[in-house]
Amino acid sequence: MPAITTSVITRKGGVGKTTLTHHIGTGLARRGKRILLIDLDTQSNLSILCIGHDPYHQLVANGTPTIRTAFDSALQGHRCDPRELILKGRVNAAKGRIYNNVDLILAHKKIGDMSNSLAAWRPDTTEHSHDGSARQELSRLSVLKRLIDQVQQDYDFILFDCPADLNLITRNALIASNFYLVPITPEYLPLVGLNEIRNDIETLNRKYWGLLTYLGFPESFTPTRFAGLVFNRINLHNGGPKQLHQHAIDLMRTQLPKGVFENYLINGDAIPHAAYDHLPVWSSTVYNANKQIDAMTNITQEFMLRVTKEGSL
């Protein structure tokens, strides 16, 4: 079976995108699944969270291939072997222990520059007509799809940690993904931004399908589907979300009856403490760590159920 690939996206930073990517990935690994994490964000937070600040910067300084290598290769007209980018046996599970079933492709601080480079890219084609233009646009959107198609059978799940921007890098990830997942906090602006995200992705799906249809092979594309919305930073009161946060959850469930995860991530100290040591929350021993551990366990289980059943939300 090919891997189930998911883009974790948002239009706003600071809503827990990287935390969610990291913990769903490692949470699935704890269930014995083979995981590939791909960091597409210029801030490289997922890379640093997985292997540590100093090791990450040392690897990049030593010339270790990153996700930028894939885009550089495409822009130069070369095929990139993803196995040359994949970092194995380096993702931290606990102090002194790593995951043997979680691999990582590192981010690069200049990956954001690739979006402009892709927009200006004119791949060589034999046609100089509308067919040539369509093939060029298809190539711009397909760099990551062509990359991960080569390792689909090596993993059970592939997760992209996307930039907080629907640029060409994020669009590449979406085209390569079966699903997209949106983290959200219980505030007004992120709620408003969700509709924009969904509309933009529907437009992207139609555009890509249109290019394939024009070129004669529409059957090769399955549109990226909405896996759901996960609330983060929920404050509890009397055993449930406080009133304002419960109102935000209820509002979204009214708008998206099946689109909002039943489980949410609560505020707490366990995840920040674990992140300080570049570890997932599963290894945390701080007081009341079990509350955030249980929340992430439930989110991971719900994610797996949502993306392994047929249909969109």
pLDDT (0 to 100) of residue 217 = 77
Angstrom distance (rounded) from CA 278 to CA 295: 19
Tokens 């990287």 -> residue: 18
pLDDT (0 to 100) of residue 312 = 42
Angstrom distance (rounded) from CA 71 to CA 147: 10
In a domain, 147, yes or no: yes
Angstrom distance (rounded) from CA 183 to CA 128: 43
In a domain, 56, yes or no: yes
| Distance set, CA 114 to CA 16, 37, 68, 121, 132 (Å) | 24, 20, 8, 10, 22
Q: Which residues pair with 182 in a beta bridge?
A: 229
**Residues 105, 56: contact at Cβ < 8 Å?**
no
In a domain, 257, yes or no: no
Domain count within the chain: 1
Angstrom distance (rounded) from CA 245 to CA 59: 41
pLDDT in tens, 187-218: 866 667 788 899 999 999 999 999 998 888 76
Angstrom distance (rounded) from CA 22 to CA 31: 15
Tokens of 35: 């995981």
| Distance set, CA 51 to CA 17, 22, 93, 131, 296 (Å) | 18, 11, 10, 44, 20
Tokens 């979406």 -> residue: 174
pLDDT (0 to 100) of residue 129 = 53
Q: What is the DSSP letter of 119?
A: H
Tokens of 279: 């570890």
In a domain, 195, yes or no: yes
Contacts of 201 (CB under 8 A, 6+ apart): 166, 174, 180, 224, 226
Contacts of 294 (CB under 8 A, 6+ apart): none
Angstrom distance (rounded) from CA 152 to CA 128: 33
Q: Which residues pair with 281 in a beta bridge?
A: none
In a domain, 44, yes or no: yes
Angstrom distance (rounded) from CA 185 to CA 15: 6
Residue-number span of the structural domain to which 172 is assigned: 4-232
CA angle 302, 11, 169 (to 5 degrees): 95
Q: What is the DSSP letter of 265?
A: P
In a domain, 158, yes or no: yes
CATH number at 20 reads 3.40.50.300
In a domain, 208, yes or no: yes
In a domain, 224, yes or no: yes
**Residues 42, 109: contact at Cβ < 8 Å?**
yes
pLDDT (0 to 100) of residue 91 = 98
pLDDT (0 to 100) of residue 218 = 66
| Distance set, CA 253 to CA 98, 112, 197, 234, 256 (Å) | 38, 34, 17, 15, 5
Low-confidence residues of the chain: pLDDT under 50: 127, 311-313
Tokens of 39: 């960091």
